[in-house]
Amino acid sequence: MSTAETFGRTIQLFLVDGKPTGLRKATIHGWTGMLFVSGASAFGDLTARDEVDRTGVYVLAGPDPATAGGTRVYIGSGNSVAERIRQSAVKREFWETAIAVTTSDDDLSKGHAEYLEARLIEIARKAGRVVLDNGTSPDHGRRRLPEADVANMEQFLANLAIILPVIGLDMLKPQPRAVSQAAQPAEQRTTGEVHFEIRHKSGVQATAVEEEGEFIVLEGSEALTGTGYVQLGYRELKEKLIADGVLVPQGLGQATDRLRFSKPWPFNSPSAAAAVVLDRNSNGRTEWKVRGSRETYHDWQQARAARQEATA
């Protein structure tokens, strides 16, 4: 188990102008790294900070114009983050959030920043949670840093992986085992996980597991289509899954009112997964049941919380 999983962390989030929509500063207690986060309206406040006029890396993030519900990200570095992020922001129209990463003691060199930039691009590309706007993938191995510096930069990245989701950008988190090991049989890669299922009166059947806070519908699961009841948000999500080849038509001779999951897919909640499966807004906490029983996801979750409380 990693240190990040073993010990708690104190993350300090400071609202610079006292407004939750304004400039924010995020730090981890005991770490020299610092992040400044802004939307377009507070972008001038971000670039005006003395700390941002230092060597570091930056991220521009926003909705992906080509993918419904997707996030597009550009990652860069510079000797002056303020200067480089201004230049990059002018060239890109998709971004809604700007993140500048520097240090309180200004101890990052150009080599450090380029290493971090290359590794951030590599990790984000491997995680596959965002669409990268970067045209190239720099090789971090070409940044010939001393061994001790590489170790320090990897710890820096570990802290970034902790703090980025807190400010709303989950681009470095690895895919759940149920997704990343899809070459293995589903039962094998989900061993030890509780399996949930939907067995609908229409005949549609779906199976899912919960892992690392994500609800993953497994390949082979079915989803209704054409009911006319799914609402806008979930309709766009479903259309994206169809366009991406995640949901595909059933084979010849199969029911035409349903689709099939060609591969496992993580959802941010049981309700989102149930809405796609049933083609309507659904309460996933009651629609999903522990496989082979009548126990709902809600009942299972409550029982698990009671067990954890009893052993605490």
Q: What is the mean pLDDT of the chain?
A: 90
203: region left, alpha or beta (phi > 0 left; psi from -120 to 50 alpha): left
Give the pLDDT score at 252. Answer: 62
Q: Residue 189 pLDDT more than 70?
A: yes
If you average pLDDT over residues 121-126, what whole number do you get? 94
For residue 4, the SS3 value is: helix
Contact between 50 and 82 under an 8 Å Cβ cutoff? The reply is: no
* Residue 82 neighbours by CB under 8 Å, 6+ apart: 46, 47, 48, 49, 52, 53, 100
Domain residue extents for the chain: 3-166, 177-311
Average pLDDT over residues 102-117: 95
Contacts of 63 (CB under 8 A, 6+ apart): 70, 71, 72, 94, 96
State the pLDDT at residue 69: 72
Lowest mean pLDDT among 94-103, 130-139, 152-161, 275-284: 130-139
User: 253 falls in which pLDDT band (50, 70, 90)?
Assistant: low
- pLDDT exceeds cutoff 50 at 3: no
Helical packing angle, 232-243 and 270-278, nearest 10° = 80
Task: Give the pLDDT band (50/70/90) at residue 68.
Answer: low
Contact by Cβ (8 Å): 173, 123:
no
CA–CA–CA angle 308, 309, 312 (5° rounding): 85
Q: Report d(CA 140, CA 124) in Å as an integer.
A: 14
Pairing of strands 97-103, 131-132: unpaired
Q: Which residue has the higher pLDDT, 4 or 153?
A: 153
- pTM greater than 0.85 (yes/no): no
**Closest to 132 (Cα-Cα) out of 142, 118, 144:** 118
Report, as an integer, the average pLDDT of 181-186. 83
For range 5-13, the mean pLDDT: 81
H or E stretch at 218: none
Burial of 34 (0-12, 13-18, 19+ CB in 10 A): buried
Residue tagged 């006029």 (tokens) = 53
